[in-house]
Chains A and B, each alone.
Chain A
Amino acid sequence: MSDILFILEFAGLILEGFIMTVIMTFLGLAGGFVLGVLSALGDVYGGKFLKIIINAYVEFFRGSPLIVQLLMFYFSIPILTGIKWDAFTAGAVTLMLNSGAYQKGYFKGAIEAVFKDQLLAAKSLGMTFKQTLMHIVLPQALRIVIPPWTNEYVSLGLSTSALIVIGLRELTNISKSIAAQTFRPLEVYLFTSIIYLVWITVSLKVLDYIYNRVRIPGLEVTSEI
């Protein structure tokens, strides 16, 4: 454990890996947000056929490991479609699809938590369905969804380490090469763990702060798992 400062030589590389990890997390969350909201709305208000499709999508991505999904998309899409894509694009798209499947469950719970009476009230005031959605349902649902959504942030952020299987140079992958290069795996992985831990802890505090600013007292949701 002596001379832990050798790690500073690799500060640039580690920072590069950390930035990649954060970028992938945010891309996955953002894409998953759009997919999650749309499929939750489809599942709550859509027709029978749409519901079947959405649930098949959700079961597939929630029931199988992210690693298998990454390998599958990374290797098969170029063969099936002829599109050339790199680890970055393949990783981002897979994370979005994966996160969307999880976020759908949270959004569905939140949308259903907005009381049915409000929908009737909005209708009686002459609001269209789209207006009701934009001005009544979503503003409330997006607030109460924050606590379960926080779990998804943590879980997806930590899952980005799976991107190592398609060779993306994120924090875990870079640590692995530094560990192999320096023959000091113990210190390197310890240091990496601390980076993840600090990042997650700070993020949790920030999200908690945001939630407490925007939350609606008395309106909480227990998420549908």
Chain B
Amino acid sequence: MITLSDFLFLLQGVPVTLSISLLSFALGFIIGIPIAVVRQIAPLELTVVAEGYEKVMRGIPVLVFMLFLHFGLAGIVPIFKDSFISSVVALGLRSGAYQSQIFRGAINSVGRDQMRAAISLGMTRTQAFRHIILPQAFIVALPGLGSEIALLIKDSSYSFVLGVLDLTKYSDILRKATKSFIIPYLTAAILYILMTFPIANYLDRWGSRLKTKYGLR
């Protein structure tokens, strides 16, 4: 069994893990929506750029991206000397690509008919997007966003390699200090599950409830 003091020691890592995950989720949200919209309505050149961004972000390991920012780009952009910031930015930029895909699927599912209807009522395309399409697309996207947060909580553990004092790092310190080889990691794993599972589940249910309420598919 784990002692109370060891457990409290491990808990110190939880706020760091959560702040990396939530900040990178916010960054991904800010990037993801414009990219999704750009891929719907912008001219071809911009679409190609957005598509390239998504392909690159989905094709390289987020750990390599973190190392690139923290050790490589830090020479040019000093802010990346901070391992916490490098982790948040790497996870956030990748999450932007993932979230853009989630939103694109959601926007498509709301459908072109509503866009036509809004335009025929005298709305501009931008107004239609802002007031008709996006609010509905957001509801459809909720379950996907839930899985994305869960993914970020798990992948925030890569920041351990950069030396960030997150939950994984604390469990590793505890393993070295107590010479207990399974309890620290097992407890950390359970804490991760306790963080990922409720968030993903809650957003999934919230999404289904809103979908029923507004009669969305």
CA distance A68 to B188 in the complex (A): 8
Q: Which of A44-52, A75-83, A125-133 faces chain B?
A: A75-83
A68 near B168 (CB under 8 angstroms)?
A: yes
Min CB gap B154→A, angstroms: 4
Question: Cβ of A6 < 8 Å from any Cβ of B?
Answer: no
Question: Cβ of B161 < 8 Å from any Cβ of A?
Answer: yes
Contact for A185 among B56, B71, B193, B197, CB less than 8 A: B71
Interface size on B, residues (CB 8 A): 42
Residue of A nearest to B62 (CB): A158
Interface size on A, residues (CB 8 A): 40
B162-202 vs A, CB cutoff 8 Å, 1 = contact: the mask equals 00000010011001000001100110111011001100000
Min CB gap B180→A, angstroms: 9
Known: A71-B185, A75-B181, A192-B64. A201 touches B55 (CB 8 A): yes
Residue of A nearest to B56 (CB): A197
Known: A79-B182, A158-B60, A193-B60. A164 touches B197 (CB 8 A): no
CA distance A197 to B56 in the complex (A): 7
- Chain A residues lying within 8 Å of B154, measured Cβ to Cβ, are 63-66
Residue of B nearest to A198 (CB): B59
CA distance A161 to B55 in the complex (A): 18
Residue of A nearest to B69 (CB): A189
Contact for B71 among A60, A64, A158, A189, CB less than 8 A: A189
Question: Cβ of B160 < 8 Å from any Cβ of A?
Answer: yes
Q: Is the interface of B mostly helix, strand, loop or mixed?
A: helix
CA distance A79 to B175 in the complex (A): 13
Known: A59-B197, A79-B181, A225-B147. A172 touches B67 (CB 8 A): yes
A185 near B72 (CB under 8 angstroms)?
A: yes
Question: Cβ of B128 < 8 Å from any Cβ of A?
Answer: no
B68 near A67 (CB under 8 angstroms)?
A: no
- Chain A residues lying within 8 Å of B29, measured Cβ to Cβ, are none
Question: Cβ of B111 < 8 Å from any Cβ of A?
Answer: no
Interface residues of A in 89-137 (CB under 8 A from B): none
Question: Cβ of B63 < 8 Å from any Cβ of A?
Answer: yes
B197 near A63 (CB under 8 angstroms)?
A: yes
A185 near B67 (CB under 8 angstroms)?
A: yes
CA distance A185 to B197 in the complex (A): 37
Min CB gap B7→A, angstroms: 16
B185 near A60 (CB under 8 angstroms)?
A: no
- Chain A residues lying within 8 Å of B192, measured Cβ to Cβ, are 63-65, 68
- Residues of B whose CB lies within 8 Å of any CB of A are 55-56, 58-65, 67-68, 71-73, 75-76, 143, 147, 150, 154-158, 160-161, 168, 171-172, 175, 181-182, 185-186, 188-190, 192-193, 196-197
Q: List 13 A-B contacts (CB under 8 A).
A: A60-B189, A63-B189, A66-B154, A72-B189, A75-B175, A76-B181, A79-B181, A154-B58, A161-B61, A190-B72, A193-B60, A193-B64, A196-B59
